[in-house]
Amino acid sequence: MSKYHHINSLIKLEQLLETRYEIPNRAVAREAVRSESFPIIEGNEAKDAESEKSQILSDSASDSPFRAEFEKFIFQHPLRFTDYLLRQIKRSPAVAKQYLPDPRELDPVGLEKPLTGQINTGVPGLERMYLDRVILMPTSQCFAYCRFCFRKNYSHDSREPDYGNPQDTFEKALNYIRNDERIKEVLITGGDPLMFRDKVLELIKKLRTIPQLTGIRIGTRIFSSDPELITEEWIRPFKKLNSTSPNLPAGRQAPISISSHLNHPDELTEECMRALLLCTQNRIPLYNQTVLLKGINDDPKTLIDLFRKLRQLGVEPYRVYMADPLKGTQYLRTSLDEFTQIKKYLRAYASGRVVPSFVVDTRIGKVELGTDAEIVQRKKNTVWIKTAYTAGIFRSMDPNWEIPEYCKQADDKSLIVEYEDSLPLSIKKKKG
Ligand code: SF4
């Protein structure tokens, strides 16, 4: 069983580095937090960011209001690692930047909850935005917490307990799905559902009694946060569930696939690749989702490298997401222009089999610019995106659905949604 390191203060982080890496004393550990494990930033931004960090983390500023504010922030948005991940953080800046806190998280720009357009299902842990699929979240906990996660600003407490009485919640969720035949797919996510494999298996067995379902997907970061958990024995029940019984008509029961979340080739360690291969070679299809993150993977060659290796392992490179306009993650966001440029580069230089689709998560649903959506207006960083969604679609799922203030209706009834493109950091103004 993995050991989780749950950290909710700078001092605990420094202590962890002290013991974990045998860094001899607190002052040196503090230095390690600043210079080694903290994100390494390049270009002009580097000096500013480094001096911010120095001020926050140095001895002389240890009682500064800014450090106190950062401390409070970390308490509200704690860190969590596995043993495996701690080894990777030490080894790779691209991994470290995804999990270690950064003082720039105090930047006030961005939305508290960038994805608020969900249909009200009335069931805790069951989210819906689309006609044919729902999201089921049996837990809100993860092996490790990514600093860019769009669920990060949900209340700290919601990370702790499961959603209500699990049995009761599951039954309500199953009834909701069963009662709407338009729902064909269920994505089990969270949190990271594979923290509780047996609970997921139990849920899948129940979902498979719903005849209209054609697919069950599991979203997880297990391959990058705790791949050593995946053994032949661990995946056997999934393999069994995906085996076709000769007594059943083909396709009778919804097949299970797993969505991995890998952002950088550094995450494809030996342990990770072994775990991915174990799944693909045991009839568990894998597809990967990647978030484009500034200073981590916003380089087309890095992405092509990642996607080619994934294909080699039998994993479908499925989607690249623009990082959400989430408060405190501005420093990790590219602009929409950069996002589009990278997509164009990939299309020009790599085979269609390795290039995923590039998706923007708006508050009313996912869109692909240039395919099903286009920017129709831009004012500084605020853009308006014309989508294929209509109010009619949402009302067919929830008759009380009203067009929200961040949407307009076009002449052809399609919805135009407001989207926040990335902005320069405003942290300095706040400090002054
Ligand atoms: S594993 Fe997924 S849900 Fe958990 S913190 Fe990371 S991005 Fe968020």
At residue 413, does pLDDT exceed 90? yes
More confident residue, 3 or 324: 324
At residue 20, does pLDDT exceed 70? no
Residue 27 sits at φ, ψ, to 5 deg, of -65, -40
Separation CA 95–CA 82 (nearest Å): 13
DSSP string, 287-321: EEEEEE-TTTT-SHHHHHHHHHHHHHTTEEEEEEE
Quick check: is 373 in a domain?
Answer: no
More confident residue, 91 or 349: 349
Counting ligand 1 atoms within 8 A of each CB, the residue from 151, 154, 163 with the most, and so the one to mutate, is: 151
More confident residue, 174 or 104: 174
Percent of the chain with pLDDT over 90: 59
At residue 55, does pLDDT exceed 60? no
At residue 408, does pLDDT exceed 60? yes
- Domain end: 338, 359, 380, which one? 359
Ligand 1 centroid vs 242 CA: distance in angstroms? 26
What is the number of the ligand 1 atom nearest to the C-alpha of 150?
8
What's the number of domains the chain is made of?
Answer: 2
DSSP string, 205-261: HHHTT-TT--EEEEEE-HHHH-GGG--HHHHHHHHHHHSPPTTS-TT-SPPEEEEEE
List the CATH number of the domain containing 198. Answer: 3.20.20.70
More confident residue, 35 or 291: 291
Tell me which residue of 308, 290, 302 sits closest to 354, measured CA to CA: 308
Give the pLDDT of residue 17: 63
Same domain, 248 and 168: yes
Ligand 1 centroid vs 149 CA: distance in angstroms? 5
Counting ligand 1 atoms within 8 A of each CB, the residue from 221, 259, 289 with the most, and so the one to mutate, is: 221
Same domain, 168 and 310: yes
Same domain, 50 and 146: no
More confident residue, 3 or 59: 3
161-170, 218-227, 231-240, 251-260: least confidently modelled range: 161-170
Counting ligand 1 atoms within 8 A of each CB, the residue from 6, 141, 142 with the most, and so the one to mutate, is: 142
Angle at the Cα of 382 from the Cα atoms of 381 and 386, rounded to 5 degrees: 130
Same domain, 318 and 241: yes
Counting ligand 1 atoms within 8 A of each CB, the residue from 81, 95, 149, 263 with the most, and so the one to mutate, is: 149
Quick check: is 164 in a domain?
Answer: yes
- Residue nearest atom 5 in ligand 1 by C-alpha distance: 145
The string of pLDDT tens digits covering residues 378-392 is 998 999 999 999 999
Copy the structure tokens of residue 219. 């979203």
For the chain, the helix, strand and coil percentages under 3-state DSSP, each to the nearest 5 = 40, 20, 40
* Residue 63 pLDDT grade (very low, low, confident, very high; cuts 50, 70, 90): low
Quick check: is 93 in a domain?
Answer: no
**Helix residue ranges, H only, 284-421:** 300-312, 336-349, 391-397
Select, from the ranges 44-48, 164-168, 410-414, the one with the highest average predicted confidence (pLDDT).
Answer: 410-414
Same domain, 242 and 170: yes
Select, from the ranges 148-152, 165-169, 323-327, the one with the highest average predicted confidence (pLDDT).
Answer: 323-327
What is the number of the ligand 1 atom nearest to the C-alpha of 148?
7
Same domain, 263 and 150: yes
Ligand 1 centroid vs 408 CA: distance in angstroms? 31
Same domain, 143 and 79: no
40-49, 233-242, 334-343: least confidently modelled range: 40-49
Q: CB-hemisphere CA count at 13 Å for 273?
A: 12
At residue 188, does pLDDT exceed 50? yes
Q: What mean pLDDT do residues 189-195 have?
A: 90
Tell me which residue of 262, 311, 316, 307 sits closest to 285, measured CA to CA: 316
Q: In the chain, what's the furthest Cα-to-Cα distance? A: 73
Copy the structure tokens of residue 266. 């550094």
Pocket of ligand 1 (CB under 6 A): 142, 145-146, 149, 151, 190-192, 221
- Domain end: 344, 359, 374, which one? 359
The string of pLDDT tens digits covering residues 29-39 is 455 455 433 43
Same domain, 233 and 320: yes
- Residue nearest atom 6 in ligand 1 by C-alpha distance: 146
Separation CA 181–CA 217 (nearest Å): 18
- Residue nearest atom 1 in ligand 1 by C-alpha distance: 221
Spatial CB neighbours of 64, under 8 Å, sequence gap ≥ 6: 55, 56
- Residue nearest atom 7 in ligand 1 by C-alpha distance: 149
The string of pLDDT tens digits covering residues 351-383 is 999 999 999 999 999 999 999 999 999 998 999
Same domain, 310 and 180: yes
Q: What mean pLDDT do residues 282-307 have?
A: 97
Task: Report the chain's mean pLDDT, rounded to a whole number.
Answer: 84
Ligand 1 centroid vs 145 CA: distance in angstroms? 6
156-170, 208-222, 277-291: least confidently modelled range: 156-170
Give the pLDDT of residue 400: 92
Ligand 1 centroid vs 147 CA: distance in angstroms? 8
Same domain, 143 and 263: yes
Note down the domain range covering 62: 4-83
Q: What is the pTM of this model?
A: 0.87
Spatial CB neighbours of 161, under 8 Å, sequence gap ≥ 6: 140
Quick check: is 254 in a domain?
Answer: yes
Q: Give buried/exposed letters for 140-174 (b at 16+ CB in 10 A, else e).
A: bbbbbbbbbbbbbbeeeeebeebbeebeebbebbb
Same domain, 57 and 190: no
Ligand 1 centroid vs 87 CA: distance in angstroms? 19
Q: What mean pLDDT do residues 262-279 have?
A: 98
Ligand 1 centroid vs 220 CA: distance in angstroms? 8
Quick check: is 379 in a domain?
Answer: no
Q: How far is CA 218 from the centre of its chain?
A: 13
Quick check: is 228 in a domain?
Answer: yes
Counting ligand 1 atoms within 8 A of each CB, the residue from 99, 146, 194 with the most, and so the one to mutate, is: 146
Quick check: is 60 in a domain?
Answer: yes
Ligand 1 centroid vs 32 CA: distance in angstroms? 25
Tell me which residue of 383, 393, 381, 392 sits closest to 426, measured CA to CA: 381
At residue 249, does pLDDT exceed 50? yes
The string of pLDDT tens digits covering residues 81-131 is 899 998 898 889 899 899 988 888 888 888 887 776 568 898 888 999 999
Give the pLDDT of residue 85: 92
- Domain end: 359, 392, 417, which one? 359
Quick check: is 170 in a domain?
Answer: yes
Question: Is-contact 200 194, C-beta < 8 A?
Answer: yes
Same domain, 198 and 284: yes
Give the pLDDT of residue 110: 85
Ligand 1 centroid vs 140 CA: distance in angstroms? 9
Ligand 1 centroid vs 409 CA: distance in angstroms? 33
Give the pLDDT of residue 138: 86
